[in-house]
Amino acid sequence: MAVRRPTFRWNVIAAVAVTAGVLVLAVALLVLLDPRTQDWWGDRFSELGTFVRALVDAVRPR
Protein backbone atom coordinates (compact mmCIF):
# COMPACT_ATOMS: atom_id res chain seq x y z
CA MET A 1 0.00 0.00 0.00
CA ALA A 2 1.42 3.33 -1.04
CA VAL A 3 1.65 6.08 1.58
CA ARG A 4 0.43 9.46 0.37
CA ARG A 5 2.17 12.57 1.60
CA PRO A 6 0.07 15.40 3.03
CA THR A 7 -0.89 18.03 0.49
CA PHE A 8 -0.21 21.74 0.81
CA ARG A 9 -3.89 22.32 1.66
CA TRP A 10 -3.69 19.82 4.52
CA ASN A 11 -0.54 21.52 5.85
CA VAL A 12 -2.26 24.94 5.82
CA ILE A 13 -5.36 23.58 7.58
CA ALA A 14 -3.21 21.89 10.21
CA ALA A 15 -1.15 25.06 10.79
CA VAL A 16 -4.30 27.17 11.21
CA ALA A 17 -5.81 24.60 13.59
CA VAL A 18 -2.67 24.45 15.73
CA THR A 19 -2.42 28.25 15.83
CA ALA A 20 -6.08 28.55 16.87
CA GLY A 21 -5.60 25.90 19.55
CA VAL A 22 -2.57 27.67 21.01
CA LEU A 23 -4.45 30.98 21.01
CA VAL A 24 -7.43 29.43 22.82
CA LEU A 25 -5.14 27.85 25.42
CA ALA A 26 -3.30 31.14 25.99
CA VAL A 27 -6.54 33.08 26.50
CA ALA A 28 -7.90 30.35 28.79
CA LEU A 29 -4.74 30.49 30.89
CA LEU A 30 -4.96 34.28 31.08
CA VAL A 31 -8.60 34.10 32.16
CA LEU A 32 -7.82 31.51 34.83
CA LEU A 33 -4.91 33.47 36.30
CA ASP A 34 -6.02 37.12 36.18
CA PRO A 35 -9.06 38.22 38.22
CA ARG A 36 -9.48 41.40 36.13
CA THR A 37 -9.72 39.31 32.99
CA GLN A 38 -12.25 37.03 34.70
CA ASP A 39 -14.40 40.07 35.48
CA TRP A 40 -14.13 41.37 31.91
CA TRP A 41 -15.05 38.03 30.32
CA GLY A 42 -17.79 37.53 32.89
CA ASP A 43 -19.34 40.84 31.85
CA ARG A 44 -19.09 39.92 28.15
CA PHE A 45 -20.78 36.54 28.70
CA SER A 46 -23.46 38.21 30.80
CA GLU A 47 -24.15 40.67 27.98
CA LEU A 48 -24.25 37.79 25.50
CA GLY A 49 -26.71 35.93 27.70
CA THR A 50 -28.90 39.01 28.02
CA PHE A 51 -28.86 39.47 24.24
CA VAL A 52 -29.75 35.83 23.57
CA ARG A 53 -32.55 35.96 26.14
CA ALA A 54 -33.97 39.14 24.54
CA LEU A 55 -33.75 37.51 21.11
CA VAL A 56 -35.56 34.39 22.32
CA ASP A 57 -38.25 36.50 24.00
CA ALA A 58 -38.72 38.52 20.80
CA VAL A 59 -39.16 35.40 18.71
CA ARG A 60 -41.27 33.48 21.22
CA PRO A 61 -43.20 35.77 23.57
CA ARG A 62 -44.43 34.27 26.82
Positive/negative CA dihedral, 36, 38, 39, 44: positive
The rounded distance, in Å, linking the Cα atoms of 48 and 46 is 5
Whether residue 62 has pLDDT greater than 70: no
**Boundaries of every domain in the chain:** 34-62
Whether residue 61 has pLDDT greater than 70: no
- Please state, as a whole number, how many other Cβ atoms lie within 10 Å of the Cβ of residue 5: 6
Segment 4-47, tens digit of pLDDT: 898 999 999 999 999 999 999 998 898 889 999 889 989 999 99
pTM over 0.75? The answer is no
